[in-house]
Structure 1
Amino acid sequence: MSRLSDNSSSDRSLDRLNEVKAFIEANKRSNEKIEDHHVDAERSLAKLNELVFEDAFEVTGHGRFNHLVLLTCGLIMLNVSMESVGMSYVVPAAECELELTSEHKGLVNAAAFIGIISTSFLWGYLGDRFGRRAVMLPAMVASAGFSIASSFSTNVWMLLILRFFTGCLVSASSATVYAYLGEMHTSSRRAAAIAWGSAFISFSFMILPGLAWLIIPGTWSFPLLGFKMVPWRVFIWSWCAPGLVSAGALLWLPESPRYLLSSCGAEKALPVLAKMYAYNHNTRESNYPVERIITSNIEASKTGGFVGAVRNITLMFRPPLLRCVVISHTLMFAVFMLSSGLYVWVPDILNSMLRSTSEESITICQIIHDKFDRERNLTLMAPEHACHSEVAVRVFPISMGMGAVFAVVYLAIGVFIGRIGRKTLYSSIMVVCGAATVGAAFVPQGGAATALLILALCSGCAASILAAIAVDVFPTCLRAMAMCVMYMVGRAGAAVGAYLLGSTLDVHCQLAFSVFGAFTAGSTVLIIFWPKPEEVREEMEQRGLTY
């Protein structure tokens, strides 16, 4: 009996021992899991503290900072557009006072474009050498000064020179702003950001005629610094405001972090990313979780000065970038030749249409030709009384309607560019606009012809798509230069278009419209040969260039 009791006690002790062992083993496993969790957390934290640049950029998020950048860059684009085409509203009003001929009008309208063309290469070099913000900020303030000075012109040559210098300074931000805006957004948001920013260009086509409507028809004047200030002179002052406001915003905004990474290293780019994070998340910069940006062993070229810039520029004229340069620059020439080249003449064309006394349905070209003959006959009969600079007030609401159409197109591009595809959207717009250009010259009805003119001018909206296509393939150290040269070629197209139309509208109107439309639609064939951006980037990164 006692033996049975001993055995039972031994079994119970064994059971307890097994329970204790199981408990210890369970605790041990639990502790191992806790330790593993801590190790994983430490590894995760270490991984977050050290990230490659693109991942560190993603951590900053998308919010108020990006919206401010978009607004500022939009105002810069608005300023560039208003400075470039604003003279088209001044020319009809200043025609008599400055004794402007048709050739003079063409030169005045093209002067800002010529200034932009002349200095784009220089500004591109300076933008890649000293930074996007560092170039744009002082140039915008100086361009406003020259623009205001041009309002005091007493003859056509003084006006031409001052508008030329205004264009030279506007050139600093005309293309650099696209590089700055693109580099302030992640790759997935870049195309949409450029499209939304470019929508501000369309606002210039509403604001300019609206201001002109308020100011130019006035009959008032006042003396200032020995000059008689009349409405068209004051009108020039009014379009300087966006540039000055955006310059004020740039005083607060930092330099592009991608540019700083490429030119100065990760240490300089990190504080900018921290500022973006703090503003987007409404917190302090010290809370930015990334402490170090990991860079590859092969950095972008550190060769400074002019020699390094020349070495980088030569890459644009060698494969794989050469094909991108030829295609994008030719297409931008076509876009600007039609949109800006034609636009500077639209107020004058509309003014002729609205002042036409013909009761028959005649084409735009016939109206222009009749006006030319009438003015030539008046000049021969009574030279001293030949000039009449009256502007039809209805030009302004029509021009504002045009701007509203452009705004809708730009906003539609921002919505659909990610869904339809950049190349397809670009080609569709350019083909439709080219056909509308040809049709505008042959339709014998004023309303239909005006509608086709507005549709033709929508080709300017395609420039933002082309910029979004091109900005992806150029490395950071070349991006400002590439964009500046591309827009330089585009402005050359605008200058060529404005001058050719000024020289041919009176005599060869239908031929001019047909050539412009055919060239615009036909140029889209080149987009078929655009290379895959991933392949270009991979090849350039193998050469040590960063994106």
Structure 2
Amino acid sequence: MAVSNFKTQASGQISSNQHEQTTIDDALALAKFGIFNYTLIIISGTIITAVMLEILSISYVITVAECDLQLTTSQKGMLSAVVIIGIIVSSHLWGFLADTQGRRVVIVSTLFLSVATTLVSSFTSNFMWMAFFRFLTGFFISGPSASIYAYLGEFHSIKTRSRAIMAASLVFGAGCMLLPAIAYLTINNEWEIPVPFLDIIYRPWRLFFVVCSLPGLISAIALLKFPESPKFMVSQGDTDRAIEAVQWIHRINSFKKEPALQIKSIVRNSNSKSAGPTKGFYAIMKLVWDQTAPLFMKPYLVRTVLVCILQFGTYVTAHGMFMFFPGVVNQIVTAQNAGIDSSTVCEIVHADRTSSGNETVVLNCKQTLEETTYMYTFLADVFYMFGVGLITLVIDTVGRLAVLVFVFALCGISGLLVISLAIPSVSIWFYLILVLAGFNINVINAAAVDLFPTNLRAMAVSISLMFGRIGSVFGTNMNGLLLDSQCEATFWIASIILLVCGVLSFFVPDIHKKAQTSISVSP
């Protein structure tokens, strides 16, 4: 399915399958939903997985690399946050470039760059260099992080868009099960390779970084075969290429067995204004402003603010609290193995550490993790996968509001139970439910895609995800600074934020509406 071929393949002979004039949504519906869409969903889900692997891989590393890098708890929080800071710094840039230069070019180029910086970070010798290259990884991985939702959504009609995005999230959920599997197969080994000229010992946790970058590399190569988003091309006024892309999609979905789809022209929607190329620094800054300012003005101000707040609250727990999940669970499992069965999570965390000046240091340096720890992190991913699958099936029936409120309430209450129970084996399960607030990230993204017009969509999602990343930074540093001294406060703060987000969900415009319907095409 090479992009270089799709123009010639789509221009087959004229047949009875002709349409004089149509909108891009109707044209995509005429192209049908088939093998192209399924392939794109799988690739998109893999890209989302690649983003998450780059972000969450550090959650395993900070526990087993603390001896090599001499990490304190606060430094662990900073290492967990620095990737996200890189994402925050660059998200506006990539959103702007995706809206003006194209979704696909941004996704592919930044994936390749993030793989390169991850490879270099695996050879770093101290905290500062590790933080620097993980920052660069975050800077580049931000590109596909937001743009992939717009890219995937814009290959689908209104009727199938939300389900396609949620299906990609299901692929992402399945892909995320790779994280504990990769960690177990790589980290829990004891080989080492001295690298004298870099003054490091290459241990399994370093290889773990490299393996986690492979899905991004594979996805970038695969996406080279796909065209740019047809909706983006229409928004740029390039309707001829958009028609060719739709015709190519139709040929693939029909296995070339149906007459070629003939579309004379595509009508541009009034909200599909072009954000064309400009020259000069001032012109570029003005265009960035033109892409951003409308999101904070009527009629988009309220929906922008609400989506950003919801993403912030979700990421505080889904990422911020999860960064320390493997480490905390490992402490609980170690305590259970030592015969401790009647302590709260926070009592166990405090007992595993001691104060040294202004820093809190670990008493027992670990090179590997307990096998049961991998089981719980694996179960978290399994529950995420099945949860996303269930949401995919019911979201068009029950609506996005019901999903948002239920997940926020369930996870918020679970966070309060984590610090209330003195049964470690039960507390682990409530901690696991707490971090599953990540279900709502994709629901919010699906809502954002429909809340904004094509020319603002990628920027809107980028900005909302930027606020989500700020929530991640807040959550990780909150853990790094408070987990040892004010453990209960970290769970109280995260839980209250989630419950507040559940209430705010009621105020998102049109959030109570179920999926819209569009043109129906018989097979």
**Partner AA of 1:300 in structure 2:** K
Distance 1:259 1:106, change over 3 A: same
TM-score (norm 1): 0.85
1:272 aligns with 245
- 1:49 corresponds to which of 20, 23, 34: 20
Correspondence 1:506 to 2:484: yes
**Partner AA of 2:482 in structure 1:** T
User: Secondary structure of 1:344's match?
Assistant: helix
Q: Tell whether the 8 Å contact from 1:113 to 1:491 is kept in structure 2 after alignment.
A: yes
CA shift for structure 1 position 264:
3.1
- 1:319 corresponds to which of 298, 311, 320: 298
Q: Tell whether the 8 Å contact from 2:271 to 2:454 is kept in structure 1 after alignment.
A: no
- 2:255 corresponds to which of 282, 290, 295: 282
What percent of counterpart residues are identical? 28
Q: Tell whether the 8 Å contact from 1:301 to 1:308 is kept in structure 2 after alignment.
A: no
2:226 aligns with 253
- 1:196 corresponds to which of 145, 148, 167: 167
Correspondence 1:68 to 2:39: yes
CA shift for structure 1 position 224:
5.7
Task: Provide Cα deviations, 1:62-84, integer angstroms capped at 9, x if missing partner.
Answer: 00000111011001000000000
**Partner AA of 2:203 in structure 1:** V
Correspondence 1:417 to 2:385: no
Correspondence 1:133 to 2:104: yes
1:428 aligns with 406
Distance 1:376 1:353, change over 3 A: farther
Q: Tell whether the 8 Å contact from 1:129 to 1:309 is kept in structure 2 after alignment.
A: no
Partners of 2:362 and 2:294 in 1: CA distance: 59
1:527 aligns with 505
Matches within 5 A, 1:438-457: 438-457=416-435
1:515 aligns with 493
CA shift for structure 1 position 170:
0.2
Task: Provide Cα deviations, 1:24-54, integer angstroms capped at 9, x if missing partner.
Answer: xxxxxxxxxxxxxxxxxxxx96972332322
User: Secondary structure of 1:290's match?
Assistant: strand
Q: Tell whether the 8 Å contact from 2:187 to 2:208 is kept in structure 1 after alignment.
A: yes
CA shift for structure 1 position 461:
1.0
**Partner AA of 1:403 in structure 2:** D
Task: Provide Cα deviations, 1:230-252, integer angstroms capped at 9, x if missing partner.
Answer: 11111111111110111111100
TM-score (norm 2): 0.88
1:8 aligns with none
Partners of 1:296 and 1:424 in 2: CA distance: 31
Correspondence 1:371 to 2:352: yes
Matches within 5 A, 1:52-451: 52-223=23-194, 226=197, 227-283=200-256, 287-295=260-268, 300-301=273-274, 304-305=277-278, 306=284, 307-356=286-335, 357-373=338-354, 387-451=365-429
Which structure dedicates a bigger proportion of its chain to helix? 1
User: Secondary structure of 2:177's match?
Assistant: helix
Distance 1:509 1:241, change over 3 A: same
Task: Provide Cα deviations, 1:257-287, integer angstroms capped at 9, x if missing partner.
Answer: 0000001331121111011101100118981
1:25 aligns with none
User: Secondary structure of 2:22's match?
Assistant: strand
User: Secondary structure of 1:472's match?
Assistant: helix
User: Secondary structure of 2:342's match?
Assistant: coil
Distance 1:46 1:514, change over 3 A: closer
Task: Provide Cα deviations, 1:462-481, integer angstroms capped at 9, x if missing partner.
Answer: 11111111110111111111
Partners of 2:39 and 2:341 in 1: CA distance: 52
Distance 1:527 1:309, change over 3 A: same
Partners of 2:416 and 2:512 in 1: CA distance: 38
Distance 1:483 1:287, change over 3 A: same
Q: Tell whether the 8 Å contact from 1:140 to 1:244 is kept in structure 2 after alignment.
A: yes
User: Secondary structure of 1:162's match?
Assistant: helix
1:541 aligns with none
Distance 1:199 1:299, change over 3 A: closer
Range with greater deviation from structure 2 (262-271 or 161-170) = 262-271
User: Secondary structure of 2:189's match?
Assistant: coil
Partners of 1:260 and 1:410 in 2: CA distance: 31
User: Secondary structure of 2:19's match?
Assistant: helix
CA shift for structure 1 position 308:
3.8
Distance 1:476 1:448, change over 3 A: same
User: Secondary structure of 2:201's match?
Assistant: strand
Range with greater deviation from structure 2 (176-185 or 200-209) = 200-209
Distance 1:443 1:172, change over 3 A: same
Where in structure 1 are there 5+ consecutive unaligned residues? Answer: 1-43, 536-547
Partners of 1:395 and 1:118 in 2: CA distance: 33
Q: Based on CA coordinates, which of the two structures has the bigger radius of gyration?
A: 1
Range with greater deviation from structure 2 (306-315 or 430-439) = 306-315
Partners of 2:68 and 2:18 in 1: CA distance: 70
CA shift for structure 1 position 199:
2.1
Partners of 1:285 and 1:134 in 2: CA distance: 31
**Partner AA of 2:403 in structure 1:** L
Distance 1:280 1:336, change over 3 A: same
Distance 1:163 1:191, change over 3 A: same
CA shift for structure 1 position 399:
1.0
CA RMSD of aligned residues (A): 2.5
Task: Provide Cα deviations, 1:144-185, integer angstroms capped at 9, x if missing partner.
Answer: 010011000100110000000000000001111111111111
User: Secondary structure of 2:263's match?
Assistant: coil
Range with greater deviation from structure 2 (261-270 or 45-54) = 45-54
CA shift for structure 1 position 525:
1.7
Task: Provide Cα deviations, 1:88-117, integer angstroms capped at 9, x if missing partner.
Answer: 111111110110010111111111111101
Partners of 1:332 and 1:302 in 2: CA distance: 26
Aligned length: 488
Q: Tell whether the 8 Å contact from 1:473 to 1:533 is kept in structure 2 after alignment.
A: no
Q: Tell whether the 8 Å contact from 1:119 to 1:171 is kept in structure 2 after alignment.
A: yes
Distance 1:292 1:360, change over 3 A: closer
Distance 1:513 1:265, change over 3 A: same
**Partner AA of 1:52 in structure 2:** T
2:439 aligns with 461
Q: Tell whether the 8 Å contact from 2:111 to 2:217 is kept in structure 1 after alignment.
A: yes
Partners of 1:331 and 1:386 in 2: CA distance: 38
**Partner AA of 2:189 in structure 1:** G
Higher RCO (C-alpha 8 Å, min separation 6): 2
Partners of 1:223 and 1:276 in 2: CA distance: 51
1:481 aligns with 459
**Partner AA of 1:255 in structure 2:** E
Distance 1:236 1:301, change over 3 A: closer
Range with greater deviation from structure 2 (46-55 or 328-337) = 46-55
Partners of 1:129 and 1:296 in 2: CA distance: 17
